[in-house]
């Protein structure tokens, strides 16, 4: 049996539950895009995508870049894929052309917002005697990636003149749907709706219009359009505390189930006397006799250094404090009073006994968001499906 210093457990049942719970919020004709960008929010992009490929409620997979999309196709993922952000334009045009050719041949759609790039796509597709599928990204107020919505109609009209471009989608992204005040979200929504109305007046129909990510999906059906992009909430994580509170008030039967747990084992136990410094910088000093456990996990693996003298883990169902500075590959914990032994399981994220260390709680401790904690989990840590 293969041994791992730490491992991440993935609950397929909880993943399916979260998808089906969101699918129930959608009208029948609204497509569900499952976002697997950034190593599936740390959950393992290939493993998660293989599960999603077999779930009928999922219509499209969405990656952040073309490299991720190519990786999925090379691992025999069959569902349509949309690249949400970028596709690695480099000075080496041959490499870029090869990647775009792969996308065209393998049912990968590309988000566009730059006319010079669209014309390159058209040229490459022409040589293949095929059409490249694109979604147009419109910037409706976030001041990030996209064509300004005021310029979008002219942009789209120019693309429509190109023979080898197939416009499949029109997209934008909310800046503030995670927050309780929806004023700016409604401003963006109205900009997007206005663009759609004006396109219809020009008799331009784009089949898949989408704007809602996780927070916006359960806020209102008016955000849904033809498709939604289910990201962080698919993994059982709330987009924000404000979003969680809003949903609990408006739909208290709606729940999310965490998909990921992170575990390791004790590899050494030491008895320390009082007044003993622990770890780099001697930032912790014992005030009495303690029993200290060491775990083979540090900031390289993704245990944030801000948990130094501030974090907790679970051992034998009990909460144990992290003491001293977290090292690159090691952390020290106080296991005083436990009948612990080398090899005992340690839970870093997840449940053990009656206690839970969930990502909402952990992210608050170091003043960050759950997204950051999971996406920083080292991709080398094995991900294992447990159910």
Of the chain, the end-to-end C-alpha distance in Å amounts to 19
CA gap 206, 314 in Å, rounded: 51
Can you read off the two tokens belonging to residue 248? 């609990």
Q: What is the DSSP letter of 378?
A: -
Residues 6+ apart with CB under 8 A from 111: 82, 83, 84, 85, 134, 135, 136, 137, 171
3-state class (DSSP) for residue 22 = helix
144: left (phi over 0), alpha (psi -120 to 50) or beta: beta
Q: Check 31, 37, 244, 263 and give the catalytic one.
A: 37
Which helix H or strand E contains 248, and what residues bound it?
helix 241-250
Q: Determine phi and psi for 136, rounding to 5 degrees.
A: -100, 125
Residues in the chain: 387
Residue position matching structure tokens 């690159």: 328
DSSP run (H or E) holding 344? none
Instruction: State yes or no: is 270 an active-site residue.
Output: no
Which two three-digit tokens encode residue 9?
């457990």
Query: Which one, of 262, 288, 294, 252, lies nearest residue 273 by Cα?
Result: 288
The 3-state secondary structure of 41-105, one letter per residue = HCCCHHHHHHHHCCCCCCCEEEEEEHHHHHHHHHCCCCCCEEEEEECCCCCCHHHHHHHHHHHHH
Give me the catalytic one of 270, 280, 289, 341. Answer: 280
Is 37 marked active-site? Answer: yes
The SS3 assignment for 327 reads coil
3-state secondary structure 119-169: HHHHHHHHHHCCCEEEEEEEECCCCCCCEEHHHHHHHHHHHHCCCCEEEEE
Residue 381 in tokens = 């840590």
Q: Which residues are identified as catalytic?
A: 37, 280
């Amino acid at each position: 049996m293969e041994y791992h210093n730490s491992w991440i457990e993935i609950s397929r049942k909880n993943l399916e539950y979260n998808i089906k719970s969101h699918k129930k919020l959608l009208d029948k004709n609204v497509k569900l895009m499952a976002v697997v960008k950034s190593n599936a929010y740390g959950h393992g992009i290939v493993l998660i995508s293989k599960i999603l490929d077999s779930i009928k409620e999922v219509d499209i997979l969405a990656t952040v870049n073309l490299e991720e999309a190519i990786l999925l196709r090379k691992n025999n993922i069959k569902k349509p894929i949309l690249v949400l952000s970028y596709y690695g334009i480099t000075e080496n045009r041959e490499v870029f052309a090869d990647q775009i050719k792969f996308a065209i041949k393998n049912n990968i759609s590309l988000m566009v917002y730059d006319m010079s790039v669209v014309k390159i796509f058209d040229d490459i597709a022409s040589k293949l005697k095929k059409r490249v599928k694109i979604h147009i990204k419109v910037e409706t107020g976030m001041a990030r990636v996209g064509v300004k919505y005021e310029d979008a109609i002219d942009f789209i009209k120019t693309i429509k003149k190109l023979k080898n471009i197939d416009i499949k989608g029109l997209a934008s992204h909310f800046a503030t749907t995670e927050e309780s005040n929806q004023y700016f979200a409604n401003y963006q929504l109205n900009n997007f709706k206005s663009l759609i109305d004006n396109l219809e007046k020009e008799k331009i129909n784009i089949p898949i219009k989408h704007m809602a990510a996780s927070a916006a999906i359960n806020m209102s059906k008016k955000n849904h359009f033809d498709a939604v992009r289910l990201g962080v909430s698919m993994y059982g994580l709330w987009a924000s505390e404000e979003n969680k509170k809003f949903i609990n008030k408006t739909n208290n039967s709606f729940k999310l189930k965490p998909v990921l747990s992170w575990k390791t084992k004790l590899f050494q136990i030491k008895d320390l006397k009082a007044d003993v410094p622990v770890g780099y910088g001697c930032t912790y000093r014992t005030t009495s006799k303690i029993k200290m456990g060491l775990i083979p996990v540090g900031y390289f693996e993704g245990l944030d250094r801000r948990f130094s003298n501030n974090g907790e883990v679970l051992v034998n169902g009990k909460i144990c404090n992290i003491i001293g500075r977290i090292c690159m590959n090691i952390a020290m914990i106080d296991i005083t009073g436990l009948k612990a032994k080398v090899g005992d399981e340690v839970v870093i994220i997840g449940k053990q006994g009656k206690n839970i260390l969930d990502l909402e709680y952990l992210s608050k401790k170091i003043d960050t968001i759950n997204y950051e904690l999971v996406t920083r989990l080292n991709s080398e840590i094995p991900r294992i499906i447990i159910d």
